[in-house]
Amino acid sequence: MKILRPLVATFAALAVAFTLTACSADDPKPETSSGTASTGAPEPKTSFTIGIATLLEHPSLTRIRDGFVDYLAEKKLDVTYVDENAQGEMSNVPIVASQMHDNANLDLIVAITTPIAQAIVNLEHDRPVLYSGVTDPAYAGLMPTIDGVSGTNVTGASDLNPNAFPVGLINTLMPGVKTIGVLYSAAEPNSAVQVAAFKAEAEPLGITIVESAITASSEIPTGVAALADVDAILIPTDNTVVGGIAMVISYGQQHQIPVFSSDAESLEKGAIATRGLSYYDMGRDTAAMAYRILVEGENPGTIPGLVTQATQLMINPDAAASMGLTIEQAILDQASIIKTAS
Please give the pLDDT value at position 16.
39
pLDDT 10s digits, 9-42: 443 443 434 343 444 444 444 444 334 444 555 6
Q: What's the mean pLDDT in 292-315?
A: 93
pLDDT 10s digits, 203-253: 999 999 999 999 999 999 999 999 999 999 999 999 999 999 999 999 999
Kind of pairing between the strands at 306-307 and 154-158: parallel
> What domains, with CATH codes, occur in the chain?
47-160+279-307 (3.40.50.2300), 166-276+311-337 (3.40.50.2300)
Please give the pLDDT value at position 312.
87
Please give the pLDDT value at position 267.
95
Q: How far apart are CA 116 and CA 155, in angstroms?
A: 14
The pTM score is 0.77
**CA quadruple 20, 22, 25, 29: dihedral positive or negative?**
negative
Q: What's the mean pLDDT in 4-11?
A: 38
Question: Is residue 152 over pLDDT 80?
Answer: yes
Write b or e for each residue in 186-209: b if 16 or more Cβ atoms lie within 10 A of its Cβ, otherwise e.
Answer: ebbbbbbbbbebbbebbeeeebeb
Task: Give the three-class secondary structure for 56.
Answer: coil
CB 169 within 8 A of CB 260: yes
By C-alpha distance, which of 119, 60, 51, 109 is closest to 283?
Answer: 60
Q: How far apart are CA 13 and CA 80, in angstroms?
A: 59
Please give the pLDDT value at position 3.
36
Question: Is residue 6 over pLDDT 60?
Answer: no
Least confident of 63-67, 180-184, 311-315: 311-315
Question: Is residue 274 over pLDDT 70?
Answer: yes
Going by pLDDT thresholds of 50, 70 and 90, the confidence category of residue 276 is confident
Task: Give first-to-last CA distance, the chain, whole Å.
Answer: 110
Q: How far apart are CA 106 and CA 113, in angstroms?
A: 19
Q: What's the mean pLDDT in 244-271?
A: 96
Question: Is residue 1 over pLDDT 90?
Answer: no
Q: What is the mean pLDDT of the chain?
A: 89
Please give the pLDDT value at position 22.
41
